Amino acid sequence: MRRPRRPADNRLSFLDVISCGFGAMVLLILITKNTVGEPIEDLQAQIETLQEQLARVMQVQAGLASERLKEQARVRTQREKLQEDRKAVEEAQQANASAKAQALIEANLKTALQSLNEEMRRLNLTASEPDVIGGIPADSEYIIFIVDTSGSMKRFAWGAAKQQLVALLDAYPKVRGLQVMNDMGSYMFSGYRGRWIPDTPARRKVLLQRFDSWHSYSNSSPVEGILEAIKRFRMKSDKISLYIFGDEYTGESVQEVIDTVDDLNHQDGKRQVRIHAVGFFTRTQIEKIDPKYADTTSRFAGLMRELTRRNGGTFLGVTVEESPKRSAKHGQPKFFIPRTGG
């Protein structure tokens, strides 16, 4: 009996299949790496190169922008300087023209004045005096009022003091600067401390209104106000007049005040300010209240006479009496007693 033939065993084992598959995958990986890897690396290098170039371009652009801003600033500065130079040239031309015109006007005025003087001499006439108020020449460009704000002044002479203030302001229709302080050197308008008050009609009106209700501590001695006025304003003009309003001097030494003012008000032989005074004689009223202070009015008059004499001014005396129609606070001035200084 024939044995059946066993067919040949040609089947692959599972392990063989897996091994072949794995090998195929490795082969594919190797092929892919060799064919694709190099272009990717080249592209990355190109990207890095382009980024470096972009950074350099941006840096250059930033530098150009900075230079452009600097150039614009230089152009703007040069333009402003050119405008300033042009303005300076125009102002210089105007000033030169004004100076020439001023010189021509002055020459014409001198010629006219000479002709007028000759005509006046021919007619035997004299030149007119400057405006005066109660014997005080009103020829200053700046005026300072130093007002005693003590109780005796407020009670007995305030109305008379305001009348004198109005009269003096009327004698100066226009000045370059005003100032008002009390005998202690306290300013009526603190906002204008140490500087001139502009002279305008509105400002004068406010000044007179403030005068009615002005209250400030006083020791009945004008020395502090005089010294403050000279120290603050003596070098700011050669035509300054001080007008001192008061009725008493309660200080100890008259001569010491005179010497101090002489030293302060005379520099290199030249007087800095002219000193005038208006004294309100309230002796009778003060004596009724406290007799020991009655002599302070005489001492004030003596001090003011000597100060005005030494400093080119004039002293006026005003006798104040009570009026039946008005309170003692608003006494009426009876008369002037001019005492002219040097």
User: How remote is the C-alpha of 248 from its chain's centroid?
Assistant: 35
308 neighbors 339 (Cβ within 8 angstroms):
yes
Closest CA to 208 of 219, 218, 197, 217: 197
Q: What is the dihedral of CA 307, 310, 312, 313, to 10 degrees?
A: 20
| Residue 144: both structure tokens together | 């300072």
Q: Which residues contact 326 (CB under 8 A, 6 or more apart)?
A: 159, 332
Between CA 206 and CA 12 the distance in angstroms is 127
What confidence score (pLDDT) does residue 101 get? 61
Q: What is the pLDDT of residue 114?
A: 53
Q: What is the pLDDT along the chain (342 residues), one digit of tens a residue?
A: 556 565 555 555 666 767 777 677 777 777 765 554 455 667 788 788 887 888 888 888 888 888 888 888 888 888 888 888 888 877 777 766 666 666 665 555 555 445 445 544 554 444 444 445 555 566 788 999 999 999 999 999 999 999 999 999 999 999 999 999 999 999 999 999 999 999 999 999 999 999 999 999 999 899 999 999 999 998 655 589 999 999 999 988 999 999 999 999 988 778 889 999 999 988 888 888 888 888 888 999 999 999 999 999 999 998 887 654 444 344 444 433 333 343
- pLDDT value of position 144: 96
The per-residue pLDDT for 340 is 37
d(CA 230, CA 236): 10
Return the structure tokens found at 82.
């050119």
CA dist list (Å): 112 to 88, 98, 169:
35, 20, 31
The dihedral region occupied by 312, where left means phi > 0, alpha psi between -120 and 50, and beta the remainder, is: left
What is the Cα–Cα distance from 297 to 153, expressed in whole angstroms?
Answer: 11
CA–CA dist 287, 221 (Å, integer):
18
